[in-house]
């Protein structure tokens, strides 16, 4: 996961917030993924490809007043979502 890259949700995926966290649906392979963190879902929805991931993470953690050690957990989760092709690097 490149923290200097600008990420967005893949056009082949959709994220839907739910009470328990959220759902991710991949249109191309019809897979459904459950996310059990509402913060992670909100972070995913805020990724629009306009700013580098490091900046988005720093802003998100500051806005939510989350501890700095949560950054590593978010990076790990986002890296897994990138491997599942839910996240894509936006080519500018």
Percent of the chain clearing pLDDT 90 (strictly above): 91
Average pLDDT in the chain: 94
Evaluated on CA atoms 36, 42, 47, 52, the torsion sign reads: negative
76 or 68, which is more confident?
A: 76
Per-domain boundaries in the chain: 7-85
Contact between 6 and 89 (Cβ < 8 Å) = yes
> What CA–CA distance (Å, rounded) separates 88 from 91?
9
> What's the predicted TM-score (pTM) here?
0.89
**Digit-coded pLDDT (tens) for 8-31:** 999 999 999 999 999 999 999 999
């Amino acid at each position: 996961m490149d923290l200097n890259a600008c990420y967005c949700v893949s056009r082949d995926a959709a994220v839907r917030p739910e009470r328990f966290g959220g759902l991710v649906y991949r249109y191309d392979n019809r897979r459904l993924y459950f996310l059990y963190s509402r913060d992670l879902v909100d972070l995913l929805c805020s990724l629009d490809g306009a700013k580098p991931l490091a900046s988005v993470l720093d802003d998100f953690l500051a806005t939510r007043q989350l501890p700095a050690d949560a950054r590593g957990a978010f990076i790990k989760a986002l890296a897994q979502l990138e491997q599942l092709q839910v996240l894509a690097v936006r080519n500018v």
